[in-house]
A and B are shown apart, each in its own frame.
Chain A
């Protein structure tokens, strides 16, 4: 009888092992994978239904900032082009704003500094689980897009970066809800100093209601597009294209 109980206990553990293996196999076939990946659409739909379009991410007091703001991902793009820009203290850096806009722009760091500024002390949440708090400053992306004049067909904003992953520039994208959110800024300062190279100098995106990998560093181009098809592998970002990360990273 005891042996049977042990068998039963072993059966539960063994069954759990089989089930775990089953989870791995399930996502290799099309339908379970499709269902699994529909979770992102559900989470995004729920969150967008529950939050005001302009609901603000929490902001913090200066003394709540992380003593050291952890840098992650690329710490230095390491290309000759980037090294040349950095050595020139980014005087020759230009941020190109194009795609579906009426007036394409080419903005220098000085131009960014002369636009109306927003400073915010916010929390940066990495998809891995850690958080760091820092003060960011820069113009609102919405103001830059208004200056460029979005065409009616534009639905997404694509950010192309100076750092390269797998031979191609890192890229990310957000929709217009987040692009025109009041806390979505093109940050050129972290904790009242020019952005360090490790944190994305000279300019990075802050999109405060999403996880860290959406906050593209080393910005070079901003393009308004009608669809994410045909950009990279069509999923809207380097990680989304290559390792199945969610495009909507609000959770």
Chain B
């Protein structure tokens, strides 16, 4: 377990790395095409029905061309992008979950320990983040508690709920699995929750990318490509030593 600073360890398993990149593409396409679909009717409702004469709880802005897929408004093509990558997201997540249960990735790396959830530990971890220390020097391979919580949140809440609410939007699936609609309180509620899940996933992605950069983009990227990750000194990131930033040979 102990790995002194500067040594290179294996950080991410093959299953995690494959799924990460497949999923990254899927999330990218789904967010872009989803915003394109939103532009067709940028109003959100609660309940079973909802159209122009009904009260919307949220009026969304018109999302600009540079952020939508395709860039010119085209509901048919946005839907085609969205609905094929929905399958990539759904079946990819399913395969990753099965793999991670079997090879104990979840049990080993994401399980929360009681001591991590004490206010004292949480506060210490907030301070460590503010100090750009993202790793416990004694256990550099372990995720910190906020990292675990956000991965748990996105893997077990936001992504599954986005998929389930997406299924609820399909009139065909409403006939096949009517319980999904009952669970979510109606199609327009499901559509609102679908949008909120997408917002949470987008926010996660932004924070994730910022932290990858702060933690040393080269080292982090390499660990997600080859699995190999260099342990930072004292858990503190030395960006100057980052292969990408410092131009050090990888």
Given known pairs A39-B83, A58-B178, A127-B40, the reply for A250 and B170 (CB within 8 Å) is: yes
A36 touches B80 (CB 8 A): yes
Q: Is B188 an interface residue (CB 8 A)?
A: yes
Max chain B CB contacts within 10 Å: which of A38, A68, A133?
A133
A5 touches B172 (CB 8 A): no
A61, B248: Cα distance in complex, Å:
68
A132 touches B51 (CB 8 A): yes
B176 touches A5 (CB 8 A): no
- From B50, B84, B175, give the contact of A57 (CB < 8 A): B175
- From B45, B52, B173, give the contact of A50 (CB < 8 A): B173
A8 touches B213 (CB 8 A): yes
Count residues on chain B whose CB falls below 8 Å from chain A CBs.
56
Q: B132 to nearest A CB, angstroms?
A: 12
| Nearest chain B residue, comparing its CB with the CB of A56 | B175
- From B72, B80, B177, give the contact of A40 (CB < 8 A): B80
Q: A21-29, A167-175, A197-205, A219-227: which lies at the B interface? A: A21-29
A130 touches B176 (CB 8 A): no
Q: B96-104, B111-119, B238-246: which lies at the A interface? A: B238-246
- Residues on the B chain within 8 Å of A70, using CB: 51-53
A42, B51: Cα distance in complex, Å:
29
B79 touches A67 (CB 8 A): no
Given known pairs A20-B66, A209-B171, the reply for A40 and B83 (CB within 8 Å) is: yes
Q: Is B54 an interface residue (CB 8 A)?
A: yes
- Residues on the A chain within 8 Å of B41, using CB: 126, 128-130
A23 touches B70 (CB 8 A): yes
- From B70, B76, B172, B181, give the contact of A24 (CB < 8 A): B70
Given known pairs A43-B87, A58-B174, A128-B41, the reply for A133 and B80 (CB within 8 Å) is: no
A38, B175: Cα distance in complex, Å:
23
Q: B22 to nearest A CB, angstroms?
A: 15
B187 touches A47 (CB 8 A): no
A246, B82: Cα distance in complex, Å:
12
Q: B121 to nearest A CB, angstroms?
A: 29
A39 touches B87 (CB 8 A): yes
Which B residues from 64 to 116 make CB contacts under 8 A with A?
66-72, 74-77, 79-81, 83-84, 87
Q: A52 to nearest B CB, angstroms?
A: 8
6 further A-B contacts with Cβ under 8 Å, apart from A39-B87, A130-B41, are: A38-B84, A125-B187, A129-B37, A209-B174, A209-B175, A243-B76
**Chain A interfacial positions (CB closer than 8 Å to B):** 1, 4-5, 8-9, 12, 16-17, 19-21, 23-24, 27, 35-40, 42-43, 46-47, 50-52, 55-58, 60, 64-68, 70, 123, 125-133, 208-211, 239, 243-246, 249-251
18 contacts between A and B (CB under 8 A): A8-B217, A20-B67, A23-B29, A27-B77, A37-B80, A39-B80, A39-B84, A42-B87, A43-B83, A47-B172, A50-B176, A123-B49, A131-B48, A208-B171, A245-B76, A246-B83, A250-B170, A250-B173
